[in-house]
Amino acid sequence: MRWLVTGGAGYIGAHVVAALQEAAVECIVIDDLSTGRAARVPFGVPLLRADVRDGAAVREAFRRHRPDGVIHLAARKDVAESTAHPLRYYQDNLDGLRAVLAAVAATGTRSVLFSSSAAVYGTPRRSPVREQDATEPANAYGRTKLIGEWMLRDAAAGGGFRWAALRYFNVAGAAAPHLRDEGGSNLVPRLLRAAELGIPATVYGTDYPTADGTAVRDYVHVADIADAHVRAALALAADEVRDEVLNVGRGEGASVLQMIAAVGRALGRPLPYDEAPRRTGDPAAVVASPARIRARLGWRARHNLHAIVTSSIAEVAKAA
């Protein structure tokens, strides 16, 4: 079996490619290396350096490699940036998906697996949040992911391919030093960078209606996310799932202060922090119900919060 992976040189994509290889699935990566790095792509996996918005280049890749399916991860993911530059996010995230879906239709590719996000829920009305709950994204990034799910549904209705959208919650951790998240905006890399520089971490918002006043998220290990992709890809290929939206989270929340304490415990010294106002578009608490993905794919998270934090620290230390 052969799958095309867009964004396969990125943090999550590289873990997905490694997991697919372990499952004996052949991969081809398309990535423009805007935030990804070629060194993350395993030796022997073809890396096509191209912009996924370039319809001709994407179609040519599908024609040449004839994949059984595509995993579309290539996108921009910075919530604050999406609020400052919404049209850039609509263009980058949706033009890329449109080009991929056009290539899928042109080549008769059978399966599409899409990187969606818990950001589609906005501020969930209940916790844990389930896939059928209201989707009211609070920022442009989340709206591009929700529109992406609609595009998939519409294109599949006319195009005859199977699809699944994985709504990842907060992805963290790493399986190897060269695979770690170097992105600037996610909490765990931000905390580790502050610790490394010896400066206080910034806590945005201490007046949320949560137990300690800071925002609560569902942190999930990137290796578990990669495992969900392998299971979903195999299930799509076998026609065991189709047209599915699935949460990928542990079903347990941790607040920003709990994460700061966990990082401090793992480092063996407390992590100082400063308090700042809430950021626009940041909901109070977002925790997944993982019941559906468990039922459909037999997936469950194998790494707990401690494993997530210690793997991040270990990989930063080894890479230094």
Buried (b) or exposed (e) across 202-224, using 16+ Cβ within 10 A?
A: ebbbbebebeebbbbbbbbbbbb
Distance CA 114, CA 7 (A): 11
Return the range that interacts with ligand NAD (CB under 6 A); candidates 164-172, 204-212, 272-280, 302-310. Answer: 164-172
Would you count residue 189 as binding ligand NAD (CB under 6 A)?
A: no
- Integer angstrom CA distances of residue 23 from 7, 194, 242, 269: 19, 37, 21, 39
Of 107, 112, 135, give the one whose Cα is nearest residue 123: 135
Would you count residue 13 as binding ligand NAD (CB under 6 A)?
A: yes
Of 26, 121, 22, 127, give the one whose Cα is nearest residue 69: 26
Would you count residue 70 as binding ligand NAD (CB under 6 A)?
A: no
Would you count residue 103 as binding ligand NAD (CB under 6 A)?
A: no
Distance CA 179, CA 193 (A): 16
Number of residues that bind ligand NAD (CB under 6 A): 28
Instruction: Give the residue, chosen from 171, 179, 187, 234, that forms a contact with ligand NAD under the rule CB under 6 A.
Output: 171
Would you count residue 272 as binding ligand NAD (CB under 6 A)?
A: no
- Return the C-alpha torsion angle 70, 74, 78, 82, nearest 10: -100
Instruction: Give the residue, chosen from 1, 21, 23, 33, that forms a contact with ligand NAD under the rule CB under 6 A.
Output: 33
DSSP 174-200: -SSGGGS---SSSHHHHHHHHHHHT--
Would you count residue 7 as binding ligand NAD (CB under 6 A)?
A: yes
* Residue 145, both tokens: 């992911």
Question: Are 105 and 2 spatial neighbours (Cβ–Cβ below 8 Å)?
Answer: no
Would you count residue 185 as binding ligand NAD (CB under 6 A)?
A: no
Would you count residue 108 as binding ligand NAD (CB under 6 A)?
A: no
Instruction: Give the residue, chosen from 139, 170, 247, 255, that forms a contact with ligand NAD under the rule CB under 6 A.
Output: 170
Amino acid identity, residue 252? E
Least separation in angstroms between residue 311's CB and ligand NAD is 15
Return the range that interacts with ligand NAD (CB under 6 A); candidates 34-42, 237-245, 281-289, 302-310. Answer: 34-42
Tell me which residues are annotated as active site. Answer: 141
> Is 96 or 264 the residue whose CB approaches ligand NAD more closely?
96
Least separation in angstroms between residue 236's CB and ligand NAD is 18
Residues of this chain that interact with ligand NAD (CB under 6 A) are 7, 9-13, 31-36, 51-53, 73-75, 77, 92, 96, 115, 117, 168, 170-171, 183, 186
